[in-house]
Amino acid sequence: MATENEVGKALRSVLSRIEVSSTKRSTDLPNLIPRLVAVSKTKPVSMIQEAYQHSQRYFGENYVQELVEKSQNVEIESNCPDIKWHYIGHLQSNKVKKLLETRNLFMVETVDSEKLARELNKNWKEESKKLKVMIQINTSEEDSKSGVTNENCINLVEFVTKQCPNLEFAGLMTIGSFNHDLSQGPNPDFQKLLKCRAEVCEKLSIPIDSVELSMGMSGDFEHAIEVGSTNVRVGSTIFGARTYSNVKPKSDEKSSKDEGVDKKMADKKVSDT
């Protein structure tokens, strides 16, 4: 695990790599500045504060209980007033109310059903703003991953935009397959997400510049940005490798697809390598 003093250095390096990757994108792509979501799952509050002190504002968590506890932490509230939390783990509809106890919740990236969208819409109580959500697409079509199929993507986006007045459709998200060999060409999962966005925008008359793409993690965020990602989820490259020896499984996520029975594989499949 990285020390607190190493977090700032690692963060600067990632931001530099993001900037360089952005210059390599095709001019045909929407001109959206990539957002870095620092994935802080299992990491201590002190590391989050260290990253915040180095101007990082967006943080991602995979577990409902852990996110709620961190967001309500006295030190976080006091020292990180502008923090913006992304929920990036598989979410069960019966945990929506608990999730919405999160302070400074900025976005839920993993909406994968009308039922879940309906629950988020019903329970979001902040009248001054809508809750930003992304639709998760299972581009690799693996049973171990959550997300709607490419074919059902348009229907779910339409449901959110027309039936959920308390939600703001922000974009599409995928975890994608791992260890893709770039010598064989662009990651096909990223290409599928690009295609999904084009189809959604055409079918529903949504400006393409307003639809973000969340794809890319520690091992492939540079390639993801080059092909069009506007939101990358990077954890271990900033905070160091995770250890679960002192982390008890959260009861609310224990049965989700992405958290599975193999903790090591679940760590890969949820959102960051």
Rounded to an integer, the average pLDDT of 64-82 is 98
Cβ within 8 Å of residue 185, ≥6 positions away = none
pLDDT beyond 70 at 159: yes
Domain ranges, ordered by start, for the chain: 4-234
Q: Is the pTM of this model over 0.85?
A: yes
Distances (CA, A) of 31 to 28, 65, 120, 196, 230: 9, 36, 30, 18, 9
Of 255, 212, 273, residue with least CA distance to 90: 255
DSSP state at residue 250 = P
pLDDT beyond 90 at 176: no
Per-residue confidence (pLDDT) for residue 180, from 0 to 100: 74
pLDDT beyond 70 at 155: yes
Lowest-pLDDT range, 38-42, 155-159, 175-179? Answer: 175-179
Rounded to an integer, the average pLDDT of 197-208 is 96
- In percent, the amount of the chain with pLDDT more than 90 equals 74
Token pair for residue 99?
Answer: 């999730």
Place of tokens 């925008």: 201
Token pair for residue 126?
Answer: 């902040």
- For residues 219 and 273, the answer to whether their CB atoms sit within 8 Å is yes
Q: Which residue has the higher pLDDT, 251 or 112?
A: 112
- For residues 116 and 93, the answer to whether their CB atoms sit within 8 Å is yes
Query: 4-234 belongs to which CATH class?
Result: alpha beta
Token pair for residue 250?
Answer: 């959260």
